[in-house]
Structure 1
Amino acid sequence: MSAVEKIEEQLASLRIAKRSALSEEPAYLLDIDISKPAQSESSGSVAVSCSNKSIRLYNRETLSFLREYSSHPGILHGVRFAHTRDSMVFSACSDGTVKCWDVRLATQKAVQLFSGYPANVFCSFDINCNDLIICAGTEKVEKDTFLVFWDARGVTNCASTTKEPLGVYSESHNDDITKISFHPVEPNWVVSGSTDGLVNVFDINKDNEDDALLSTCNSDSSVSFIGWSGKDYKQVYCMTHDEGFCWWDIAQLDTEEPITLLHVLDVRDTVCIENDSLHYLVGGLYHEKADKLFLIGGTSTGNIHLISCATDGLSLVGTLSRGHSATVRSFCWNLTDESLLTGGEDAQLLLWKPGAVERSLTKKTSLKIASSVQRRIRVHKNSSQSRKK
Structure 2
Amino acid sequence: MSHIPVTRAPGLLPKLTSRASGKVQTGGGDLYIYETLLTASYAAVSTSAYEINLYERFSTAPARKLKHHTDQLTQIRVREDSVLSSSIDGQIAVWDIRQSANQPSLVLKSDDPILSFDISADKTAVIGGTQLNSEYAAKILMWDMRMAGALARVFEDSHSDDVTQIHCNQNSSSQILSGSTDGLLCTFDLSQPDEDEALQFVANTGASVAECGYFGPSSQFIFAHSDMETLQLWTNEATRLADFGDVRELGQSDMAIDYIAKCEYDTETQRLYMIAGTNEGSLHIMHVGVESMEYIQTLNGGHGDIVRGFDWKLSEGYAISGCEGGRITWWSTEDQIQQPVSAIPAATTASGSKRVTGANGRRFAPY
Specify which of 307, 321, 329 is matched with residue 286 of structure 2: 307
CA-atom RMSD, angstroms?
2.3
> Residue 229 and residue 276 in structure 1: after superposition, are their counterparts in 2 closer, same or farther (change >3 A)?
same
- TM-score with structure 2 setting the length: 0.83
Note the C-alpha offset of 1:61.
4.5
Flag the structure with more relative contact order, 1 or 2, with Cα contacts below 8 A and sequence separation at least 6.
Answer: 2
Where does structure 1 lack aligned partners over 5 or more consecutive residues?
Answer: 37-43, 156-162, 358-389
Q: Note if contact 1:10-1:354 (Cα within 8 Å) is conserved in structure 2.
A: no
For the residues of structure 2 that align with 1:154 and 1:336, how far apart are their CA atoms? 37
Note the C-alpha offset of 1:136.
0.8
Hey, what does 2:309 align to over in structure 1? Answer: 330
Percentage identity across aligned positions?
25
Q: Say whether residues 1:267 and 2:272 are aligned partners.
A: no
Note the C-alpha offset of 1:154.
7.3
> Residue 339 and residue 212 in structure 1: after superposition, are their counterparts in 2 closer, same or farther (change >3 A)?
same
Hey, what does 1:290 align to over in structure 2? Answer: 269
Per mean C-alpha deviation after superposition, the further-off stretch among 59-68 and 94-103 is 59-68
SS of 2:197's partner is helix
Note the C-alpha offset of 1:319.
1.1
Q: Note if contact 1:224-1:239 (Cα within 8 Å) is conserved in structure 2.
A: yes
Note the C-alpha offset of 1:299.
0.2
Specify which of 320, 328, 349 is matched with residue 341 of structure 1: 320
Hey, what does 1:169 align to over in structure 2? Answer: 155
For the residues of structure 1 that align with 2:322 and 2:184, how far apart are their CA atoms? 28
> Residue 76 and residue 259 in structure 1: after superposition, are their counterparts in 2 closer, same or farther (change >3 A)?
same
Q: Map Cα deviations across residues 53-84 of structure 1 (whole Å, 9 max, x no partner).
A: 111111134344111123321111111122xx
Q: Map Cα deviations across residues 225-257 of structure 1 (whole Å, 9 max, x no partner).
A: 01111231100110000001111012xx4xxxx
For the residues of structure 1 that align with 2:156 and 2:9, how far apart are their CA atoms? 41
Q: Say whether residues 1:27 and 2:31 are aligned partners.
A: yes
- TM-score with structure 1 setting the length: 0.79
Q: Note if contact 1:13-1:354 (Cα within 8 Å) is conserved in structure 2.
A: yes
For the residues of structure 2 that align with 1:151 and 1:20, how far apart are their CA atoms? 39
SS of 1:336's partner is helix
Hey, what does 1:46 align to over in structure 2? Answer: 43
Counterpart of 2:11, as a letter, is E
For the residues of structure 2 that align with 1:273 and 1:12, how far apart are their CA atoms? 22
State how 1:24-173 maps to structure 2 within 5 Å: 24=26, 25-36=29-40, 44-82=41-79, 86-116=80-110, 118=111, 120-142=112-134, 143-153=136-146, 163-173=149-159
Q: Say whether residues 1:233 and 2:219 are aligned partners.
A: yes
SS of 1:233's partner is coil
Q: Note if contact 1:126-1:182 (Cα within 8 Å) is conserved in structure 2.
A: yes
Task: Considering fraction of residues, name the structure with more strand.
Answer: 2
